[in-house]
Amino acid sequence: MVNIQPFRATYYNPERLNNLAEVLTPPYDVISPQQQEAFYAAHPNNFIRIDFGQKQAEDNESHNVYTRAAETFQSWLNEGVFTHSPQPGFYLHTLHYQHGSRELSRTDLFVLCEALPFEAQAVLPHEKTLAGPKADRLKLMEATHSHLSPVFALYSDHEGFLNGYFETVQARDPLFEFKDRDGIGHSIWYDADPEALAKVQHWFQERQLYIADGHHRYETTLNYKRQHADEAAQYPAQNSVCMYLSNIYDPGLLVLPTHRLLKPSVPLPPQEALLERLGAYFSIESVDPAALPARLAEIPVEETGIGMERDGQGWLMRRPKGLPDGLLPERSVSYRGMDVSVLHDLVLYKLLEFSKDWAKDPDYILFSPDWAQVRTWLQDQTGQIGFCLNGTAVQELCGVALAGETMPPKSTYFYPKMPSGLLLARFENAL
């Protein structure tokens, strides 16, 4: 059972800051050191100082990136840089963006959701997590006593039950609106109507949620909840995770492919031998490598398509949808049918003997949602071979999660990313 709750959000005070684009940041885990420096310089109240502060040579147990984050956060609260809603409510967020020639919008619902272990089957994951990021986020949560970055989760509302509620809320004046650094429009509405909130809460009780982005943040909340159970009576919000929820049938929910680049450290056979191995499973056509994304988009859903570039030459590989019979027959239909599963389990692990231990190691493999970036890496010899993919369908993600499985690394890239610092949940006043 999914137990969502209205909460009292903390957010940048629109009366103090008239350009939120100057203070919000991308998710911390996609920020380079150069970008981190630029965000520091962008504005003295930039969220980077709280969510992803710079380390200093003299850091120690009592004075470090986490203590500075807590001190900065409290200082800004005292100065009125942040404000909060008068009482708990739900927050509706709509973003307006352009992708290619398409104008799109997506609606998200910000809530607190009871943090339950995955075994409860209320919130379902699709990827494995790493200890390092969870330890980092736990220290930051312990220092700030807050949910600083929400988890992105999906729900299924094919009938559009929530659409009427969304339309009612969106008919009012928004809490605030702005355009971010990428020109993406954001509108936030706040609703504290008890009757409407209760109906939404009741509807979600019969649903499941699928984590789209934020597995480390969700598991960090579980760790905090377990380690600080004696504080839960005073701070009940620590037992929940801040989430924004999107309908898998929202036409503005966009999942981009994540293309792969293999580094020079990966041993590869000569190209003639590689094509011979691949030819046992794929029909292969020589194509202009720049045209691979467009050619892949033309492939029907009942087929698997993978693009490949090496030494300036491109190939389009096609086969009947999914993994061949006999390879991982124990895996679910959803997992076996994904193009990214065919790339990893058939092409990389079986045919290229690429170690699974390398699958997230930047010494061996790099990822980008931009095929042009992969081609640039090939041209400057950062890597030796690139693989181009179509995006993973959201229904495939949900099917893998329902089967209790995890997907290959970087199987999805949801776009656009939610800015960090938009809505926060402080344990002391969120509920």
Please check whether residue 59 lies inside any domain of the structure.
Answer: yes
d(CA 110, CA 89): 9
Q: Which pLDDT does position 324 carry in this prediction?
A: 97
Reading the block at residue 269, the tokens are: 């056979």
Q: Do 215 and 294 fall into the same domain?
A: no
d(CA 426, CA 157): 30
Please check whether residue 283 lies inside any domain of the structure.
Answer: yes
Q: Which pLDDT does position 161 carry in this prediction?
A: 94
Q: How far is CA 255 from CA 43, 95, 229, 318, 379, in A?
A: 31, 15, 37, 21, 27
Q: Do 51 and 185 fall into the same domain?
A: yes
Residue among 20, 27, 14 nearest 420 (CA) = 27
Residue with tokens 């809505």: 423
18 pLDDT more than 90 = no
Q: Do 158 and 268 fall into the same domain?
A: no
Pairing of strands 425-426, 146-147: antiparallel
Residue among 418, 424, 430, 428 nearest 147 (CA) = 424
Q: Do 283 and 239 fall into the same domain?
A: no
In tens, the pLDDT along 175-184 reads 999 999 999 9
Kindly state the average pLDDT of the residues 1-10: 96
In tens, the pLDDT along 262-320 reads 999 999 999 999 999 999 999 999 999 999 999 999 999 999 999 999 999 999 999 99
C-alpha angle 402-90-167 in degrees, rounded to nearest 5: 90
Q: Which pLDDT does position 131 carry in this prediction?
A: 84
Binned at pLDDT 50, 70 and 90, residue 59 comes out as confident
Q: Which pLDDT does position 132 carry in this prediction?
A: 83
Q: Do 158 and 19 fall into the same domain?
A: yes
Please check whether residue 26 lies inside any domain of the structure.
Answer: yes
d(CA 363, CA 350): 20
Please check whether residue 22 lies inside any domain of the structure.
Answer: yes
CB neighbour list of residue 399: distance below 8 Å, 6 or more residues apart: 332, 333, 334, 335
Binned at pLDDT 50, 70 and 90, residue 387 comes out as very high
Number of domains comprising the chain:
2
Please check whether residue 381 lies inside any domain of the structure.
Answer: yes
Kindly state the average pLDDT of the residues 77-104: 96
In tens, the pLDDT along 226-269 reads 999 999 899 999 999 999 999 999 999 999 999 999 999 999 99
- The CATH number given to whatever domain includes residue 317 is 3.30.1760
Q: Do 391 and 370 fall into the same domain?
A: yes
Q: Do 249 and 269 fall into the same domain?
A: no
Please check whether residue 431 lies inside any domain of the structure.
Answer: no
164 pLDDT more than 90 = yes
Computed over every residue of the chain, the mean pLDDT equals: 95
Q: Which pLDDT does position 247 carry in this prediction?
A: 97
In tens, the pLDDT along 98-138 reads 998 899 999 999 999 999 999 999 999 998 887 888 999 99
Question: Has this prediction a pTM greater than 0.75?
Answer: yes
Please check whether residue 21 lies inside any domain of the structure.
Answer: yes
Kindly state the average pLDDT of the residues 311-332: 97
Q: Do 272 and 378 fall into the same domain?
A: yes
Kindly state the average pLDDT of the residues 163-184: 96
Binned at pLDDT 50, 70 and 90, residue 29 comes out as confident
> Residue 261 burial (CB < 10 Å; 0-12/13-18/19+)?
buried
Q: Do 158 and 269 fall into the same domain?
A: no
3-state secondary structure the chain: CCCEECECCEEECCCCCCCHHHCCECCHHHCCHHHHHHHHHHCCCCCHHHHCCCCCCCCCCCCCHHHHHHHHHHHHHHHCCEEECCCCEEEEEEEEEEECCEEEEEEEEEEEEECCCHHHCCEECCCCCCHHHHHHHHHHHHHHCEECCCEEEEECCCCCCCHHHHHHHHCCCCCEEEECCCCCEEEEEEECCHHHHHHHHHHHHCCCEEEEECHHHHHHHHHHHHHCHHHCCCCHHHHEEEEEEEECCCCCCEEECCEEEECCCCCCCCHHHHHHHHHCCCEEEEECHHHHHHHHHCCCCCEEEEEEEECCEEEEEEEECCCCCCCCCCCCHHHHHCHHHHHHHHHHHHHCCCCHHHCCCCCCEEEECCHHHHHHHHHCCCCCEEEECCCCCHHHHHHHHHCCCCCCCCCCEEECCCCECCCEEECCCCC
Question: Helix axis angle, 163-170 relative to 194-205, nearest 10°?
Answer: 150
142 pLDDT more than 90 = yes
Residue among 339, 85, 100, 45 nearest 190 (CA) = 85
Please check whether residue 372 lies inside any domain of the structure.
Answer: yes
Q: Do 50 and 180 fall into the same domain?
A: yes
Q: Which pLDDT does position 130 carry in this prediction?
A: 79
d(CA 326, CA 328): 6
Q: Do 358 and 281 fall into the same domain?
A: yes
Kindly state the average pLDDT of the residues 176-204: 96
Q: Do 179 and 315 fall into the same domain?
A: no
**Residue ranges making up the domain that contains 389:** 259-411
